[in-house]
Amino acid sequence: MIAFIVRRLVTSFFVLLAATMVIFGLTSIAGDPLADLRELPGADGERRMADRIERMHLDDPVWLRYLNWLTGLFRGYLGVNRDGQDVGVMLGDALSATLQLVLAATVLAVVIGVCVGIISALRQYSSFDYGVTLAAFVCFSLPLFWVAVMLKQYIAISFNDWLRDPAIPPTVIVVLALIAGLIWAAIAIGDRKVKLIAFGAGAAITAVILTLLSVTGWFADPGIGLIGLAILAGGTAVGLSMLISGLQYRGPLYAALAAAGLGVLLSEILTPVLADPSWAEIFGLALATVIICIALGYGLGGLLRQQAITGAVLTGLITGGLIFVDRLLQSFASYSDMVRGRPISTIGAGTPNFKGDFWQTNLDSAGHLLLPSMALVLISLATYTRYSRSSMLEVMNLDYVRTARAKGLPERTVITKHAFRNGMIPITTLMAVDFASVIGGAVVTENVFGWQGMGTLFTTGLQQVDPAPVMAFFIVSGTAIVVFNMLADIVYAYLDPRIRLS
């Protein structure tokens, strides 16, 4: 394992080195770095040209400039841009914004895409499957920048306007309820009667929830509330137990329910801690949750201890996540006031000079992240959906899945234990490839939403034939891609015992 990582790092180092050569060379010859100064009249222009020639060493050949940059890099110095600003400083601000965006988009795309893909595969040839397939094709064919501009223009601005008086018009409720009903019916298996019932239930539940949200003005001052929290956490516990061990076994179910109940209870008791926590405290709480849940699973699991621990830990973490979201939502109203009623932002990665408590600050980032990551997710989402669908379909037809069924395992176990893990093996490879394209996509998204992120570093640098910022962008993104690739390989080896990392 260690040997593998070291070897990988060494080869990756040389690969990156070769790539920097290519990029530095191409960027340096991509145009005239003095183009903007040539139009300046008189002595001022000439003086500034001379300045820039000296600063960028334009009299040296490209390879010498590259070596110069490289020696600087090994001393931890990223150079200056054409106007003499330190690129290292520029990068510092840009880095966290972009990494947030890229990670948020990747995580969301993987989780949602894999889930939808698997359901689609398990319901092959259902209308849900056809719907997802069609949607995936549309997503594949959408230009990212176009989607981003659309989201900015129509969703953000109209949504903010709507938030002033957040009532959902009855027609919209009806349409959304019908759509929800159709989705339920498409997922349900059974004859026409079952589908009709699913349709009715889905539509009715959606309509009731939306009406409630509308008349209570929920969107103006949202939150999950204690009752909502209890219902959601309990539902999570039951759902996970159903997936992991089946409801007929009490041990795991009770462990998960206990985890959920404890979480809900603690959310009340811990109110003072949660008023304005720090990230360290949040992580501490998460760690405590895991430990407590392991204990719960161990104690209550009985013969199904392993499953009980898994179920309890997952339930605990999801409950914790729900509490987190609840707190975020609770500070929505105050945050909305602070940004003059326009919480969904279309420009930048954060409100300039924003000062607020933990929740408000995070809400601010979330509000700025929302649209760019939505745009970015849309593209990878389709890829993950398609791949996990076909991967699952392929695995479900394999002999060992038939063997698992022949043993008399319930379909649940066949899917979660035998098909899922094998089906995910090719997805890890895909993640590595997709991550690079998400970084490329981030460049476009940042451009549309006016982020001062790494993408801007790259595009401006490229436009101005200024290698230093472009190289800074590449060093970070290239390293991220290499690390991500390595992680993907490690996960691959973990999932597939036939692969030995050495």
Q: Scan residues 281-320 and list those touching other proteins (CB under 8 A).
A: 303-304, 306
Nearest to 417 by CA among 341, 307, 328: 307
Of 220-249, which residues contact other proteins (CB under 8 A)? 249
Nearer Cβ to other proteins (23/173): 23
Nearest to 116 by CA among 384, 429, 418: 384
Nearer Cβ to other proteins (15/265): 15
| Options 96, 361, 390, 416; binder of other proteins; rule CB under 8 A | 390
Residues whose CB falls within 8 Å of the CB of residue 385, separated by 6 or more in sequence, listed in order = 113, 114, 116, 117, 120, 132, 136
Closest CB 498 distance from other proteins, rounded Å: 5
Element (H, E) at 167: none
Q: What share of residues in the chain are helix, strand, coil (percent, to 5)?
A: 80, 0, 20
Establish if 77 lies at the interface with other proteins (CB under 8 A). no
Establish if 500 lies at the interface with other proteins (CB under 8 A). no
Nearer Cβ to other proteins (113/441): 441
CA angle 454, 7, 472 (to 5 degrees): 15
| Options 482, 488, 489, 492; binder of other proteins; rule CB under 8 A | 482
Tokens representing 168 are 């959902």
Residue pair 222/329 in contact (Cβ under 8 Å)? The answer is: yes
Distances (CA, A) of 444 to 108, 375, 455, 466: 19, 10, 7, 19
Nearer Cβ to other proteins (64/433): 433
Size, binding site for other proteins by CB under 8 A: 75
Establish if 394 lies at the interface with other proteins (CB under 8 A). yes
Distances (CA, A) of 271 to 200, 326, 357: 39, 12, 15
Q: Per CB under 8 A, which region of 112-120, 161-169, 310-318, 477-485 contacts other proteins?
A: 477-485
Distances (CA, A) of 96 to 171, 453, 468, 470: 42, 8, 19, 17
Tokens representing 396 are 């479900």
How much is the CA Rg of the chain, to the nearest whole Å? 26
Establish if 85 lies at the interface with other proteins (CB under 8 A). no
| Options 477, 488, 489, 492; binder of other proteins; rule CB under 8 A | 477
Dihedral, CA of residue 325, residue 329, residue 330 and residue 331, to nearest 10: 110
Tell me 339's DSSP state: T
Establish if 359 lies at the interface with other proteins (CB under 8 A). no
| Options 144, 259, 378, 488; binder of other proteins; rule CB under 8 A | 144
Tokens representing 284 are 């501490």
Q: Dihedrals φ, ψ of 139, to 5°?
A: -60, -40
| Options 61, 143, 169, 217; binder of other proteins; rule CB under 8 A | 143
Closest CB 181 distance from other proteins, rounded Å: 23
Closest CB 393 distance from other proteins, rounded Å: 6
Establish if 82 lies at the interface with other proteins (CB under 8 A). no
Closest CB 303 distance from other proteins, rounded Å: 5
| Options 158, 321, 403, 412; binder of other proteins; rule CB under 8 A | 403
Nearer Cβ to other proteins (47/402): 402
How far apart CA 461 and CA 474 sit, in angstroms, is 11
Instruction: Find where tokens 């990156």 sit.
Output: 16
Nearer Cβ to other proteins (322/465): 465
Residue 467, SS3?
A: helix
Closest CB 40 distance from other proteins, rounded Å: 22
Q: List helix spans (H) across 301-357.
A: 305-330, 332-338
Tokens representing 352 are 């300039």
Residue pair 132/385 in contact (Cβ under 8 Å)? The answer is: yes
Closest CB 145 distance from other proteins, rounded Å: 5
Binding mask 32-71 for other proteins (x = CB under 8 A): ----------------------------------------
Of 13-32, which residues contact other proteins (CB under 8 A)? 15-16, 18-19, 22-23, 26-27, 29-31
Residue 340, SS3?
A: coil
Closest CB 258 distance from other proteins, rounded Å: 20
How far apart CA 116 and CA 187 sit, in angstroms, is 11
Closest CB 492 distance from other proteins, rounded Å: 11
Of 412-451, which residues contact other proteins (CB under 8 A)? 413, 417-418, 421-422, 425, 433, 436-437, 439-441, 443-444, 447
Establish if 357 lies at the interface with other proteins (CB under 8 A). no
Establish if 488 lies at the interface with other proteins (CB under 8 A). no
Q: List helix spans (H) across 339-419.
A: 358-396, 399-406, 411-413
| Options 99, 398, 486, 493; binder of other proteins; rule CB under 8 A | 398
| Options 207, 415, 481, 488; binder of other proteins; rule CB under 8 A | 481
Establish if 271 lies at the interface with other proteins (CB under 8 A). no
Of 87-126, which residues contact other proteins (CB under 8 A)? 125
Of 170-209, which residues contact other proteins (CB under 8 A)? none
